Amino acid sequence: MVGAPLMFGLISFGPFGIASMITQEILQLQAAIEQSNARRAAELSMAEKFKLGADLFDDGIRWLKQIIKAEQPELSDEQVDQELDRRRAIKRRIEERGHSPASKGEMPSAEV
Residue 5 lies in a domain: no
Residue 1 lies in a domain: no
Statement to judge: residues 66 and 111 lie in one domain: yes
Statement to judge: residues 37 and 56 lie in one domain: no
Statement to judge: residues 62 and 77 lie in one domain: yes
Is the sign of the CA dihedral 70, 72, 74, 77 positive or negative?
negative
* Percent over 70 (pLDDT), the chain: 69
Statement to judge: residues 88 and 74 lie in one domain: yes
pLDDT of residue 24: 83
Task: Assess contact for 102 and 95: CB atoms under 8 A.
Answer: no
Over residues 6-27, the pLDDT tens digits come to 444 545 555 556 666 778 888 8
**What would the mean pLDDT of 34-60 be, rounded to a whole number?**
94
pLDDT of residue 14: 57
Selected residue with higher pLDDT from 43 and 11 = 43
Residue 25 lies in a domain: yes
By CB atoms closer than 10 A (0-12, 13-18, 19+), residue 91 is middle
What beta strand segments (E) does 5-112 contain? Answer: 7-8, 11-12
pLDDT of residue 22: 75
Statement to judge: residues 33 and 50 lie in one domain: no
Statement to judge: residues 77 and 30 lie in one domain: no
What beta strand segments (E) does 9-100 contain? Answer: 11-12
Name, in order, each residue with C-beta under 8 angstroms of 35's C-beta and a sequence gap of 6 or more: none
Statement to judge: residues 56 and 108 lie in one domain: yes
Name, in order, each residue with C-beta under 8 angstroms of 79's C-beta and a sequence gap of 6 or more: none
Residue 56 lies in a domain: yes
Give this prediction's pTM. Answer: 0.55
Tally the domains of the chain: 2
Give residue 15's domain range. Answer: 11-43
